[in-house]
Amino acid sequence: MVPNGFISEAEIADELGAKKIYLQGLSRNRGRPVMLIKARNHFPSKDQLQFKKFVVYLLDKTIARCFKSSFKSSKDMFRNLALHLPFCSFKGREIGDEKLIAVLDLQSISYKNVDARGLITGFQFLQAYYPERLAKLYILSMPWFFVGVWRMVSRFLEKATLEKVVIVSNEDEKRDFMEEIGEEVLPEEYGGRAKLIPIQDVVLSPLDG
């Protein structure tokens, strides 16, 4: 699935074109990369191979935001990540301790956006190839008709993954969510001061080790 050692954006053009994944920078607490998913911009993929490549791309790029090493170019960085993260984990053990925070925004979704298969695929990749990379998943604005979908999807989640999921449903949970991520990283529509940044617009510069 990754013959060149990394996923090129040309291979996942349809998924990127939907502008459903945003990479917002590093959280206030512990400096973890924050990935925002706008579910209302997602529709079940007709090309499952492209979707799986998209999942690898977004997870690799999100983790790369805090991956500290030195490379001659961003392409070299992705080649290195492709070798160490998704497909060459040694018996589930990974190099480094970089973790990400994911935010799944379900505001204004309709039945057309519901994709249990896509969610399960994402979690299966996360659990199989990126164990312990998820620090926390915040789910926002869950509508009543999605509750049953989530119950089905959660059956595929390991206990350790489920314990990292927070369904934000009251003011205290919202306050904790904003405090952990920080106003400087949260987009304005969530009470922060940042602009939305599509993941394909984020440029990863080589970092000094």
Does 33 score more than 90 pLDDT?
yes
Does 86 score more than 90 pLDDT?
no
Does 77 score more than 70 pLDDT?
no
Mean pLDDT for the stretch of residues 188-203? 94
The residue among 14 and 67 whose pLDDT is bigger is: 14
Does 1 score more than 70 pLDDT?
no
Does 82 score more than 50 pLDDT?
no
Mean pLDDT for the stretch of residues 70-86? 44
Beta carbons of 61 and 23 less than 8 angstroms apart: yes
Least confident of 71-75, 121-125, 202-206: 71-75
Q: What is the DSSP string of the chain?
A: --TTSS--GGGGHHHHHT--EEEEEE-TTTT-EEEEEEGGG----S-HHHHHHHHHHHHHHHHHTT-----SSHHHHHHHHHHHTTS--BTTB-SS---EEEEEE-TT--GGG--HHHHHHHHHHHHHHSTT-EEEEEEES--GGGHHHHHHHHTTS-HHHHTTEEE--SHHHHHHHHHHH-TTTSBGGGTSSBPP-BGGG--------
* Residue 71 pLDDT: 38
Does 184 score more than 50 pLDDT?
yes
Q: Backbone phi, then psi, for 11, in 5-degree steps? A: -75, -20
* Residue 140 pLDDT: 98
Domain boundaries, the chain: 9-201
Mean pLDDT for the stretch of residues 142-161? 97
* Residue 4 pLDDT: 63
* Residue 83 pLDDT: 42
Does 7 score more than 80 pLDDT?
yes
Least confident of 9-23, 135-149, 191-205: 191-205
**For the structural domain made of 9-201, what CATH number should be given?**
3.40.525.10
Mean pLDDT for the stretch of residues 67-73? 42
* Residue 88 pLDDT: 30
* Residue 42 pLDDT: 98
